């Protein structure tokens, strides 16, 4: 089977994300880029995560043309491809509708960096791309533009998109962003939220780019 390991990895992460309630029902979509072939493995449109098998994962090229698979790929395949085209180093794209990020996105509000983990993913704050219809070319365009060189961006009135060098990293980033959105929500309600300044944010972002964890 073409790219079987990548397909199995998407299913493993998809199930975990679903179990952790970062996506309700069949919402959200996940993809992995294979750097050898340039192909992208992506979740199928509207199928329950618990029932997915490797045969359900669709392989597309960078323009979204189906290379392998019998299912219809996610309606956001164009969005994933647009991000991969603009960010050659990205190996995985994760799109969720987790509650707190979607609440901020529904107010079209950027999420400020008040914790280091969020500052490490973005240039100062998690920006919010304007609303465009689901699955549209316009959504792919405004979202990939707004993402820029960051690793997370809100989709106005919709959800969030995060990227990573591989799907494990993209999954962790999705969890960090949801936690960051939750903390920012509560901090704002407590009042007097202190947002990390430009220098502090830049330090965290640079440190993250240089690498973190065990060598
Ligand atoms: Zn969505």
CA–centroid distance, 126 to ligand 1, in Å, is 17
Convert the pLDDT of each residue in 102-152 to its tens digit. 999 999 999 999 999 999 999 999 999 999 999 999 999 999 999 999 999
CATH class of 4-210: alpha beta
CA–centroid distance, 98 to ligand 1, in Å, is 10
Convert the pLDDT of each residue in 154-194 to its tens digit. 999 999 999 999 999 999 999 999 999 999 999 999 999 99
CA–centroid distance, 110 to ligand 1, in Å, is 18
181: DSSP letter: H
Convert the pLDDT of each residue in 203-212 to its tens digit. 999 998 887 5
- Quote the CA–CA distance of 162 and 87 in Å, as a whole number: 12
Burial class (CB in 10 A: 0-12, 13-18, 19+), 157: middle
To the query of whether residue 76 is one of the catalytic residues in this protein, the response is yes
The string of DSSP letters for 139-154 reads HHHHHHHHHTT-SEEE
| pTM of structure | 0.94
Among positive and negative, which fits the CA dihedral 90, 96, 99, 105?
Answer: positive
DSSP lists the bridge partners of residue 43 as none
* Per-residue pLDDT at 209: 83
Residue pair 86/144 in contact by the 8 Å Cβ criterion: yes
Report, as an integer, the average pLDDT of 195-203. Answer: 95
CA–centroid distance, 133 to ligand 1, in Å, is 10
Catalytic entry in 76, 110, 178, 204: 76
Q: Which two tokens stand for residue 199?
A: 């220098």
Residue pair 127/109 in contact by the 8 Å Cβ criterion: no
């Amino acid at each position: 089977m073409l790219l079987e390991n990548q397909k199995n990895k998407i299913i493993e992460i998809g199930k975990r994300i679903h179990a952790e309630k970062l996506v309700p029902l069949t919402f959200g979509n996940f993809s992995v880029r294979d750097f050898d072939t340039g192909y992208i493995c992506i979740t199928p449109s509207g199928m329950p995560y618990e029932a997915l098998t490797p045969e359900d994962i669709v392989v597309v090229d960078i323009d979204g043309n189906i290379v392998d698979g019998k299912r219809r790929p996610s309606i956001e395949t164009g969005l994933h491809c647009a991000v991969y085209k603009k960010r050659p180093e990205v190996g995985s794209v994760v799109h969720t509708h987790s509650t707190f990020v979607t609440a901020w996105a529904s107010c079209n509000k950027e999420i400020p960096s008040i914790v280091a983990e969020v500052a490490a993913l973005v240039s100062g704050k998690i920006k919010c791309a304007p609303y465009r219809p689901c699955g549209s070319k316009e959504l792919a365009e405004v979202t990939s533009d707004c993402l820029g060189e960051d690793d997370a961006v809100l989709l106005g009135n919709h959800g969030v998109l995060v990227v990573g060098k591989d799907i494990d990293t993209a999954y962790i980033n999705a969890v960090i962003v949801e936690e960051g959105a939750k903390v920012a929500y509560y901090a704002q309600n407590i009042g007097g939220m202190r947002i990390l300044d430009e220098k502090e944010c830049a330090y965290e972002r640079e440190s993250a780019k240089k690498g973190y964890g065990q060598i």
